[in-house]
Structure 1
């Protein structure tokens, strides 16, 4: 795990790192993620922070927690999407959202310029 030693990560950042690692195949299907206590100690964060990150991964359908055993990358049933495939799908969705956000910002700029160049009601009466 590569982390910025200057600032401890938050749960969202921890989840993003594990999500990337799962997508990259560092943790293939069926693999146990490192124990939350060890990760927390390594990163200098609270146990609840790591548990929250693992919960985010579970909500994404990438991992499953097994009481007393640990957290495992989902090993989907035959024909189901793999965790790695789900991560790649999430990345593709994030790319589309980023593109749409950029396009919307461009459109907003164009509308603002058009409105600024358009004569107002008082200008039309002169």
Structure 2
């Protein structure tokens, strides 16, 4: 089933930085997961797809920046980024907390760079 939703996106870091926006999106229910797609309302206007599984999620961004992040509670995964200028970066990411509800995703995570700087990120995506 496919439906249009309103996406409320918020990411905050313990260093005080944050990004928040609301934007229309599309939610598709598949047999084994849901897929939420939307355009990030920032300068890059990245198309974002969030694949929501019962115990993990995958976020993929495309546009001037291509990025893939996977969140699995208590596991180390890898963030992969690539720009149009051929700059590529891969770094480890640890998911400290992961809450997946019918209309909400809540993740607390830390990348290698975050850990070096004692920073944690809190991502919250609501969609209705």
Q: Is the TM-score greater than 0.5? A: no
Q: Please give the TM-score of this superposition, normalised by the length of structure 1.
A: 0.26
- Of Structure 1 and Structure 2, which has the larger fraction of its residues in strand? 2
- Of Structure 1 and Structure 2, which has the larger fraction of its residues in helix? 1
Specify which structure has the bigger relative contact order, considering alpha-carbon pairs within 8 angstroms and separated by 6 or more residues.
1
> Which is greater in Rg?
1
